Structure 1
């Protein structure tokens, strides 16, 4: 195995120059080890980020909000919704839309981390069917 002499502080350019002097077989081994190192670093950070994003994406609308929305929309369909309840329904809809907006923002972030399109990510997660 060849050795490369490096000082305690070496620039990336100097390191690359030293790596250039490696025989092909050792260069391939070195590159493989560097790729493993990169993958390990990405896996550690992405796993934490992805896990948190997936938790946020899969978080349901709070049951109190969903229950109130269900009741108010049922009353609206039955034409028994009062003016005050209609105003409340609009507020509940706004809460749900805000919740959905945040979910989409988390999906976009996750798609960027995985370097895929939003459509592909949503398909992969089973959120939407595959487009025709």
Structure 2
């Protein structure tokens, strides 16, 4: 794990500069931990079920799965993807889609708990719909 040297008084700009130097996989893990921290802080004013749902909603696609997808997608764009790799890419896409579907289900459950529409919940949480929708 990388370390970031910080002084006792650190501006958010300096902290961001330090985080910027992390390798991608560690950056993703750091972001996941920051999101979990935010969810825990919000949990003080939320019930346990809402808190758990927010943690699940903010959970990123596992870094190993994302990096595997990125590699295969890059090969596909370069037209160097073998037939076996194409089949593998389809399996990875299916796993990511399943992960995303579970996230949407958690959003729907949270919207129902809060008695708001899914659109309103996503707006409240700052979640944008994908461009392809």
TM-score (norm 2): 0.62
CA distance, structure 2, for counterparts of residue 80 and residue 74 of structure 1: 9
Listed as ranges, the matches of 1:72-83 within 5 Å are: 72-83=72-83
Q: What is the count of residue pairs matched by the alignment?
A: 86
* Aligned counterparts of 2:86 and 2:55: Cα–Cα separation in 1: 32
State the 1:48 CA deviation: 0.3
Q: Which position in structure 2 is the counterpart of 1:93?
A: 93
Does residue 118 of structure 1 match 2:118? yes
Matched with 1:103 is 103
For the residues of structure 2 that align with 1:77 and 1:100, how far apart are their CA atoms? 23
Deviation at 1:47, TM superposition (A): 1.3
Q: Deviations over 1:33-64 (max 9, x none)?
A: xxxxxxxxxx99x6100100000000000011
Which structure 2 segments of 5+ residues have no match? 1-42
What is the match of residue 32 of structure 2? none
Determine the C-alpha separation between the residues in 2 that align with 1:85 and 1:128: 31
Measured in 2, the distance between the counterparts of 1:126 and 1:103 equals 15
Instruction: Give the greater-gyration-radius structure (CA).
Output: 1
Distance 1:94 1:128 in 2: 22
> CA-atom RMSD, angstroms?
1.7
User: Which residue of 1 is the match for residue 39 of structure 2?
Assistant: none
Structure 1 spans left out of the alignment, 5+ residues = 1-42
Secondary structure of the corresponding residue to residue 128 of structure 1 = coil
Q: Which runs of 4+ in 1 moved over 6 A?
A: none
